[in-house]
């Protein structure tokens, strides 16, 4: 196992990446990027493995981005484990690591950066509504990382994200399209523990009892998916109420949304025995006319468990 170079300066990283791409001797190589905030776990390892399988060169970033935290205490408490993170990335075949400090990414922070990217209307829904400015921070750092870490042409960049952060995937995908950023966004299904809990770096801050409490979130999402698959009424209101009353869980939201627009779908939509969603157009402000989109919906959930805010989601099939 070879430990990859860990570079903290953007110019040095660009030079190292250009040299590594040149050394490949491939006409149009694919560079796979796994952007992370560290505190890596097997979900991140799965992203690296997927990138490794499809790329000629794999790069990763480790940067705890202060712009996407609207709570200074949450930012301070976010787990950091650089040595362990680099060891995991090395074990899974990462070739280069970019790990800048805050002042390098945002000179003059907290006054800088003066110029930031906005996630617009898409970034003000659900997690964006509960954490104002969160997705503006996400798209600002992603735009900067793509600028720094994109390989020289004709190499192509594929950036890998986990579907656990479904809103983030939707917003970053739109970011690349709207701003013509040089990256293809790839998403990997959520990695879960044996009890169904979505893996998250924040899980490290939970006790065993709190981890067990948190599994109520994925159980509820799984129940929604099972009812859809069986053609039963989704009973979203009942499941939402049960999750809100689950021990140790302070529910923020449990909603059905269009996966691409993140607009809410009527909670009264049902899946008929023939596998067709029917809904009441306009029954939810900003809802999708005609109920759940033909390709299915996405159930989003967010809750506080102990000291940690957890998010999860699950596709709800239309057939």
Please give the DSSP secondary-structure letter assigned to residue 45. H
Q: Residue 81 CB: number of other CB atoms within 10 A?
A: 15
Please give the DSSP secondary-structure letter assigned to residue 9. S
**Residue 61 among known ligand-binding residues:** no
**Residue 168 among known ligand-binding residues:** yes
Burial 18-29 (b: 16+ CB within 10 A, else e): eebbeeeeeeeb
In the chain, the DSSP E strands lie at: 6-7, 30-36, 57-62, 96-98, 156-162, 184-188, 249-257, 270-271, 277-278, 297-305, 308-316
**Residue 37 among known ligand-binding residues:** yes
**Residue 191 among known ligand-binding residues:** yes
**Residue 41 among known ligand-binding residues:** yes
What radius of gyration do the chain's Cα atoms show? 20
Is residue 318 within 8 Å of 296, Cβ to Cβ? yes
Phi/psi of residue 170, each to 5°?
-60, -45
**Residue 1 among known ligand-binding residues:** no
Please give the DSSP secondary-structure letter assigned to residue 234. -
Q: Residue 295 CB: number of other CB atoms within 10 A?
A: 12
Count of helix runs (H) and strand runs (E) in the chain: 10, 11
**Residue 165 among known ligand-binding residues:** yes
Which residues 6+ apart lie within 8 Å of 279 measured at CB?
265, 266, 268, 269, 287, 288, 290, 291, 292
Among the listed residues 135, 154, 157, the one whose alpha carbon sits nearest the alpha carbon of residue 145: 157
44 is annotated as an active-site residue: yes
**Residue 68 among known ligand-binding residues:** yes
Which residues 6+ apart lie within 8 Å of 12 measured at CB?
none
Of residues 44, 134, 268, 278, which has the active-site annotation? 44
**Residue 164 among known ligand-binding residues:** yes
Which residues 6+ apart lie within 8 Å of 68 measured at CB?
133, 134, 135, 137, 138, 141
**Residue 202 among known ligand-binding residues:** yes
**Residue 149 among known ligand-binding residues:** no
| Residue ranges at the known binding site for ATP | 37-44, 162-165, 191, 199-202
Active site residues: 44
| Residue ranges at the known binding site for beta-alanine | 68
| Residue ranges at the known binding site for (R)-pantoate | 68, 168
| Residue ranges at the known binding site | 37-44, 68, 162-165, 168, 191, 199-202
């Amino acid at each position: 196992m070879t430990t990859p170079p860990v570079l903290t300066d953007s110019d040095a990283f660009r030079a190292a990446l250009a040299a590594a791409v040149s050394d490949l001797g491939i006409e149009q190589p694919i560079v796979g990027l796994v952007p992370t905030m560290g505190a890596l776990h097997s979900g991140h390892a799965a992203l690296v493995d997927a990138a490794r399988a499809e790329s000629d060169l794999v790069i990763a970033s480790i940067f705890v981005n202060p712009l996407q935290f609207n709570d200074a205490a949450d930012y301070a408490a976010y787990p950091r484990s650089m040595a362990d993170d680099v060891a995991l990335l090395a074990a899974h075949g990462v070739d280069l690591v970019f790990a800048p400090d805050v002042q390098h990414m945002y000179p003059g922070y907290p006054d800088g950066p003066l110029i930031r990217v906005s996630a617009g209307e898409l970034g003000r829904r659900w997690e964006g509504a509960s954490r104002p400015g969160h997705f503006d921070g996400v798209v600002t750092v992603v735009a900067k990382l793509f600028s720094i870490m994109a390989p020289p042409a004709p190499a192509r960049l594929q950036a890998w994200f986990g579907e656990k952060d479904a809103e983030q995937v939707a917003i970053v995908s739109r970011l690349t399209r709207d701003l013509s950023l040089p990256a293809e966004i790839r998403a990997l299904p959520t990695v879960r523990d044996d009890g169904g809990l979505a893996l998250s770096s924040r899980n490290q801050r939970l006790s065993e009892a709190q981890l067990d409490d948190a599994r109520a979130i994925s159980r509820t999402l799984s129940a929604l998916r099972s009812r859809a698959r069986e053609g039963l009424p989704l009973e979203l209101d009942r499941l939402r109420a049960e999750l809100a009353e689950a021990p140790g869980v302070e529910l923020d939201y449990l909603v059905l949304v269009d996966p691409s627009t993140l607009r809410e779908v009527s909670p009264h939509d049902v899946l008929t025995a023939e596998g067709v969603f029917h809904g009441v157009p306009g029954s939810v402000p900003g809802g999708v006319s005609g109920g759940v989109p033909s390709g299915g919906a996405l159930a989003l959930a967010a809750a506080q468990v102990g000291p940690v805010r957890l998010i999860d989601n699950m596709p709800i099939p239309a057939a």
